[in-house]
Structure 1
Amino acid sequence: MVSNQSDTFDIGGELTVNRLGFGAMRITGDGIIGEPNDVANAKEVLQTAVELGVNFIDTADSYGPGTSERLIREALTPYADDLVIATKGGLLRNRETDWKPCGNPDYLRNAHLASLDRLGLDAIDLYQFHRPDPDTPFEDSVETLAELKDEGVIRHVGLSNVSVEQLETARELVDIATVQNRYSIKERESEDVLSVCEDEDIGFIPWFPLGAGDLGKTGEMLDEIAATHSATRYQIALAWLLQHSPVMLPIPGTSSLTHLEENVAASGITLAADEVARLDA
C-alpha cells in the first residue's frame, strides 16, 4: 500500500501536518448537494486517506450542506491525535446548487456552531472564511472569527478566495494561518498571494489543485515528464505543487479509492530540477 511521503508544515506554527492533504468536497452528492450515492464508499475513502498517512482534511459547511462534515465524524471518530480538520463558513447553498456568499457575523457564528456539532468537536483546528461577501464589510467577517478564536472555539483562522490586499487587511485583525485560493499548474492568478504566504510562513491551500481534470496546455508537457517517472499527468501536477513552494498544502479530493491512492503516491515523486523549471515556466 502507498503512503504519504510529503514533508510537513506547521499550520499556525503548531499544527504539524503532512503537506499532501485531502479535500472532502467530492464525498457528497451530485452538485455537492446531499449524500453521495454510495455512503459506505465515501466513508471508506476517508478512512483509507488517514490509513495512508493523510492527517490534514479540508471541508466546509457548504459541502452538502453539512453532509461532508457529518460523514467525516461518522467515518473518523474517535479522531487520531495528529489529525487536523479544517472547515469553512461563509457560503449559502440551495437546491439549484448555487454558492452564495454570506459573511454576516451572526450567520458565521451560527455556521461555526453547527460545524462544531456535525464534526463532534469542542474547537475547530482551522476555521476559514470561505469567500468575502460584497454585502458585508470584510473586516466585520474577519473580526467575528477573531472573536471566536479568543473564545477558544477556533484554534487558527484561515481565509479563502482573497486578494493580497484582503489578506493584509485581515492580518491587522488576527493572525492568519492559511489562505485557500484556486491554484494549479494551469491557473496561477494567485501567485502574488502565494508569495506573501511564503514570506510570512502562512500555509497556502490550492483548491482545484488538479484543475478538475483540465490542465490545459500543460498536459502534453506533463505527459512527457510523467513517462519518465512511470506516473500520470495528475501525479506530476501534484508533485510539482509540492516542490513549487514549501508552504503549499495541496488537498486533492476524490470519491474514488483508486484515485486517492494515486494522489497519495504522487507525494513520493521527486522531480528533477530541470523538470521543475520547465513546469514553473
Structure 2
Amino acid sequence: MSTPDIPEIRDRSTDDRRPGGAAAFAGRTVSRIGYGAMQLTRLANNPDQAVMLLRRAAELGIDHFDTAHIYGNGLVNNLIREALRSGDDVLISSKIGADANPDGPVHLRLAQRPEELRAGVEDNLKSLGLEQIAVMNLRRPDDRPGLRAEGDQAVDLDDQLAAMTAMRDEGKIGAIGLSNITLDGLRRAIPAGIVCVQNAYSLVDRRDEGFLSLCLAEGIAWVPFFPLGSAVPGLPKVAEQTAVRAAAEALGHSPSQVGLAWLLHHAPNVLLIPGTAGVEHLESNVAAGSIRLGDAVLATLDGIPGI
C-alpha cells in the first residue's frame, strides 16, 4: 500500500525529552506519544490508581492528554482535574458531538446541533476545571465507525464550524479538531483553521492515507484512533500480523510497540494517544517512542496488506 509521496516522511524529531520526540500541535510543542484517557473508566472504583497512572504519564514526559466529558459522564475529566497540575504544562484536548446515554445500546447518543456542541464545551470546561480547552474535537457521524445521523442530528458541517469558531473567538476553546470526518468534509473545514484530525488508522487500516497526506501538506496533526487495528471481532489487528511479530522478535520489543513505532516513522505529523488503565502498559507505550525501525523493516511492514 502506498505511503504519502513526501520525501521527509520518515523523519522524526530527536527531542528525547518527550516520548516519541516532539511535534507542533495547536501552537505549541507536545510529545508525539500522548495519552488517551477513555480507559480510565475501568478504574471508576479505584480513583487513587487512576490518579497515580496520570501522574506517572506526566512524569514520563507525556504532555498531551486526550479526553471527553462523556467518558464516565465527567468521571475521567474529574480524575484529570485532580491528577494534573498547572506546573505540568500539559495540553488537554477533548471532544464533543455525543452525550452519554447509559441505557442505550451503545451508551451514547448523538449531540450534533450547535446548541448541543456549546453545551458539550461547557460540560468539559466544568468537569476539567478549566477556562479554556486547548483543542476541542468535533466528532462527526460521517465515517466509520459509530452512529449515523438522522432527523435533527443531521447537521450541516458549516453550521457546526460556525458554532465552533464562535466559541474559539470567545476563548472557550483554543483550537478546533475534527474526528470521524470525510475527506470532502475536511477540505471544506480547512479554512476554519483545523489543527488535527482523529480518524481510524493503523498499519492494517490505511484507507485514510489520503487524509494523512492532506493533513501533512496543511500542517494538521494526524491523531489516529484504533492505532493497533480495530477492536471489532473479525477485523485485522496489528499485533496478529506475521511480519509484525517477526520484526518484534528481532528487535526485542512487543508487536504492539512495533505497531506504534511504525506510525511514528510513517509520517512526522502523527501524534499518538494510546490508552491504558495500567502503569506497565503505559510505560510500554512510551518505550515504543524510542524504537528505530530500519529501512528493510519499514519496507516489510509497509507491504502488509490492509483493509
TM-score, length of structure 1 as denominator length: 0.91
Counterpart residue number, 1:45:
53
> Do the aligned partners of 1:27 and 1:254 also contact (CA within 8 Å) in 2?
yes
After TM superposition, the runs of 4+ consecutive aligned structure 1 residues lying more than 3 A away are: 2-5
Counterpart of 1:22, as a letter, is Y
Whether the 8 Å contact between 1:86 and 1:125 is mirrored in structure 2 is: yes
Query: Which residue is equivalent to 1:117?
Result: 126
Is the Cα–Cα contact under 8 Å of residues 99 and 109 in structure 2 kept in the other structure?
Answer: yes
Could you tell me which residue of structure 2 aligns to residue 262 of structure 1? 284
**Per-residue deviation, 1:257:** 0.7
The separation in 2 between residues aligned to 1:77 and 1:164, in whole angstroms, is 37
Shift of 1:211: 2.5
Q: Is the 8 A contact 1:130 1:161 kept in 2?
A: yes
Q: CA deviation at 1:170?
A: 1.3
Equivalent position to 2:263, from 241, 257, 275: 241
| Equivalent residue letter for 2:68 | A
1:21 counterpart residue number? 34
| CA drift at 1:212 | 5.6
- Give the corresponding residue for 1:136: 155
Q: CA deviation digits over 1:94-135, x for unaligned, max 9?
A: 113433222111111111011111111111110110224552
Stretches of structure 2 that go unaligned for 5 or more consecutive residues are: 1-15, 142-148
Alpha-carbon distance in 2 for matches of 1:79, 1:91: 31
Aligned length: 272
Specify the alignment match of 1:94 in structure 2.
Answer: 101
Tell me: CA distance 1:185–1:195, structure 2 relative to 1, closer, same or farther (3 Å). same
- CA shift, 1:278, in A, is 1.4
CA distance in 1, matches of 2:265, 2:219: 16
1:226 aligns with 2:239: no
> Are 2:111 and 1:105 aligned?
no
Residue pairs, 1:2-81, within 5 angstroms: 4-12=18-26, 14-29=27-42, 36-81=44-89
Gaps of 5+ in 1: 30-34
1:186 aligns to 2:204 (yes or no): yes
Alignment correspondent of 1:160: 179
Contact 2:70-2:99 within 8 A present in 1 as well: yes
Identity rate of aligned residues, in percent?
36
d(CA) in 2 for partners of 1:110, 1:124: 13
**What are the residue-to-residue correspondences of 1:184-223 with 2, within 5 Å?**
184-211=202-229, 215=237, 219-223=241-245
Asked if the contact 2:239/2:255 (under 8 Å) is kept, the reply is no
Instruction: Report the 3-state secondary structure (helix = DSSP H, G, I; strand = E; otherwise coil) of the residue aligned with 1:178.
Output: strand
